[in-house]
């Protein structure tokens, strides 16, 4: 079959739809099939031995590799501009895999304090039990190279950040942190969950490793859990050899297939999440009962300038505080009917939740204060509905507060 080659590099929007080729099928499917198999036949004893010693290409066992999972990994490497990727069973297993591959007992790493609550307790409690020290820096003080460098010593193995950060929407400067990491010869790890590669490509800005809770915007439909790590081939190989093959956080082929399906509409969904997010943030900002709105797209946000520089648009996540604090916030969460009271984010439906008692209950009140997570803060993951319907829902709830 004669085929023409593209005459110009593919844009990110086109790569989101195409990106990788279906190499593991002879039936010319438009969509790659799901390879639901735990193991693979060898053609002969020598063939099997050759796959094991790396002289032959092929799959051995799905914990180690699977054609459907491999397609997702290839796609994510393309979308993040990396060389290789590992898909894992959850975002948490991706983060644990990175941390435990790079740091050993006695080592430390520097992280911003404002993180998803599960990541914070993994770092602050579970890594601590393994004698891996997390050195936290509050986002507001993490903005000069000197402040970050003051925490680095010869046992510091990596820098870690979320931007935009969960749940405060703090923006950290990836270029700045990346230059500090490069100066000290260690990788910067960025959790790119809130932005997705459509809005932000940390590897182009100086990060060396990207992690995702793919559960969120990559899946996009609230029906699967998964994680992804993207980096250069050497780091991905190290994470595979030192962690993934033995701890076994493999993604199911069925979930990989659903992620491949979800990603095809990433650009369209993100455009809508961003436009609606900005509109709802502006509306909340002007509401007399709202004390503060945290959304990087508002010029009043302290990270607006950096966000403009490192993100394509400002995302679909926002947080706000209402007059009357937590009591008023609870009234709103109980009164909304279209916004769904649930954790997670990046779904088609708008989700509302209270970080201090839900996603960030793993912080003590003092730790939340340090991380800038107000007790009355409400987080909104703006979905794909008509934003006017969401505004009407919030307006009715605010009337009762």
Ligand X SMILES: Cc1ncc(COP(=O)(O)O)c(C=O)c1O
The residues assigned a catalytic role are: 63, 116, 191, 216
- Residue with token string 């991706």: 94
**Choices 89-97, 199-207, 279-287, 350-358 (CB under 6 A): range interacting with ligand X:** 89-97
Q: Is 54 exposed, middle or buried (0-12, 13-18, 19+ CB in 10 A)?
A: exposed
- 166 near ligand X, judged by CB under 6 A: yes
| Structure letter (DSSP) for residue 39 | B
Q: For residue 230, give the H/E element and its range.
A: strand 227-231
Work out which of 80, 107, 170, 191 binds ligand X, going by CB under 6 A.
191
Of 217 and 320, which CB lies nearer to ligand X in the complex structure?
A: 217
Of 184 and 221, which CB lies nearer to ligand X in the complex structure?
A: 221
Shortest Cβ 25–ligand X spacing (Å): 29
Q: How far is CA 169 from CA 60, 78, 85, 165, 297, in A?
A: 42, 26, 26, 5, 10
Work out which of 50, 81, 118, 372 binds ligand X, going by CB under 6 A.
118
- 68 near ligand X, judged by CB under 6 A: no
* Binding to ligand X in span 352-391, by CB under 6 A: none
CA angle in degrees (0–180, nearest 5) for 264-266-268: 105
Of 66 and 193, which CB lies nearer to ligand X in the complex structure?
A: 193
- 91 near ligand X, judged by CB under 6 A: yes
| Structure letter (DSSP) for residue 10 | P
- 86 near ligand X, judged by CB under 6 A: no
Buried b (16+ CB within 10 A) or exposed e, 9-20: eeebeebbeebb
Of 218 and 298, which CB lies nearer to ligand X in the complex structure?
A: 218
| Nearest Cα residue to 134 out of 122, 145, 142 | 122
Q: What are phi and psi of 262, to 5 degrees?
A: -60, -40
Work out which of 62, 124, 200, 213 binds ligand X, going by CB under 6 A.
213
Shortest Cβ 232–ligand X spacing (Å): 22
Residues that bind ligand X (CB under 6 A): 90-92, 116, 118-119, 162, 166, 191, 193, 213, 215, 225, 227
């Amino acid at each position: 079959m004669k085929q023409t080659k593209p005459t110009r590099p593919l844009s990110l929007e086109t790569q989101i739809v195409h990106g990788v080729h279906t190499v593991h099928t002879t039936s010319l499917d438009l969509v790659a099939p799901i390879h639901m198999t735990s193991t693979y036949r060898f053609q002969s004893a020598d063939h099997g031995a050759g796959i094991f010693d790396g002289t032959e290409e092929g799959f051995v066992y799905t914990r180690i590799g699977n054609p459907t999972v491999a397609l997702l990994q290839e796609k994510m490497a393309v979308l993040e501009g990396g060389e290789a990727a590992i898909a894992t069973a959850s975002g948490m297993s991706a983060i644990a895999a990175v941390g435990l591959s790079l740091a050993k007992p006695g080592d430390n790493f520097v992280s911003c304090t404002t993180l998803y609550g599960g990541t914070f307790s993994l770092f602050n409690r579970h890594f601590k039990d393994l004698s891996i020290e997390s050195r936290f820096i509050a986002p507001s003080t993490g903005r000069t190279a000197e402040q970050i460098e003051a925490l680095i010593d010869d046992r510091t193995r990596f820098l870690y950040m979320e931007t935009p950060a969960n749940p405060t929407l703090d923006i950290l400067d990836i270029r700045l942190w990346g230059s500090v990491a490069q100066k000290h010869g260690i990788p910067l790890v960025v959790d790119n969950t809130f932005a997705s590669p459509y809005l932000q490509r940390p590897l182009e800005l100086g990060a060396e490793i990207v992690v995702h809770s793919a559960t969120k915007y990559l899946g996009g439909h609230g029906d699967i859990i998964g994680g992804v790590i993207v980096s250069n081939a050497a780091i991905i190989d190290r994470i595979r050899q030192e962690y993934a093959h033995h701890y076994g956080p493999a993604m199911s082929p069925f979930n990989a297939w659903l992620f491949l399906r979800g990603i095809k509409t990433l650009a369209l969904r993100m455009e809508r999440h961003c436009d609606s997010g900005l509109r709802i943030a502006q509306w909340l900002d002007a509401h007399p009962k709202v004390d503060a709105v945290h959304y990087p797209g508002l010029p009043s946000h302290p990270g607006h300038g950096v966000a403009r520089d490192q993100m394509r648009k400002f995302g679909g996540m926002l947080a706000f505080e209402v007059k009357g604090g937590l009591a008023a916030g609870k009234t709103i969460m109980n009164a909304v009917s279209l916004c769904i009271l649930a954790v997670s984010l990046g779904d088609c439906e708008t989700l509302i939740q209270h970080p201090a008692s839900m996603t960030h209950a793993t912080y003590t009140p003092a730790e939340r204060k340090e991380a800038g997570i107000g007790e009355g803060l409400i987080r909104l993951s703006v979905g794909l509905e008509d934003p006017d319907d969401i505004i009407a829902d919030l307006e009715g709830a605010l009337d009762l507060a």
